[in-house]
Amino acid sequence: MIIHIKHMVSLRCIKVVKEALNTTGIPYKQVNLGEVELLESELFESKKEALVAILSDCGLELMQEKKSTTVEKIKNCIIEMVHYSNELPRVKLSIYLSKKLNLNYTYLSNLFKEVTGMTIQHFIVLHKIEKAKELILYDELTLNEITHQLQYSSVAHLSNQFKQITGITPTHFKKAKTFKNRVFLEKIELNNLRFA
């Protein structure tokens, strides 16, 4: 049985969910971003209530509505793609998401906009800028290399989007060298600053 968990977007969240499953005595096979594969075919109500309570205390939510589950899958695909893979796919993102989720991109796009109020592209840009912040702070890559890794057409394109989102240029951000400007992955869509 597969269950889906909202706001589960980081490796820290995976650890929290595993602890919650162990605490409630729910056996599981695998825990990935946004979903858990249980060993049992049914989740008993008492264990489910205990799991919901623990997840809620951690800012996570057990999902049951199909639309919300699909949107969470879209978010998790994007987060995995931008933050946890070495390189973005070389195919169009619409094709990547369609293949990954086995659903028509127009449907995914319309559903995402309906449920979140923002486009998939906007969500991707927010995450790419957060990844750019991380790479700038690590100071291991040049801005040209970051531009290439995040598949921007030019440094100017990255810089423009960076400034739209953060209010400062990547160069100014690098000079500031502060981690306080970083946003937790779970909070990115809530911190939908200047970009429209």
113-118, long-range: CB < 8 A, 24+ apart: 114/67, 115/67, 115/68, 115/71, 116/71, 116/189, 118/189, 118/192
Question: What pLDDT score was predicted for residue 25?
Answer: 92
Give pLDDT tens digits for 152-195: 999 999 999 999 998 999 988 888 865 555 555 555 654 454 44
Higher model confidence: residue 169 or residue 65? 169
131 pLDDT band, cuts 50/70/90, is very high
b/e map 76-85, b = 16+ CB within 10 Å:
bbbbebbbee
Q: Stretch 1-30: mean pLDDT, rounded?
A: 88
Global confidence as pTM: 0.67
CA–CA separation, 7 and 76 (whole Å): 9
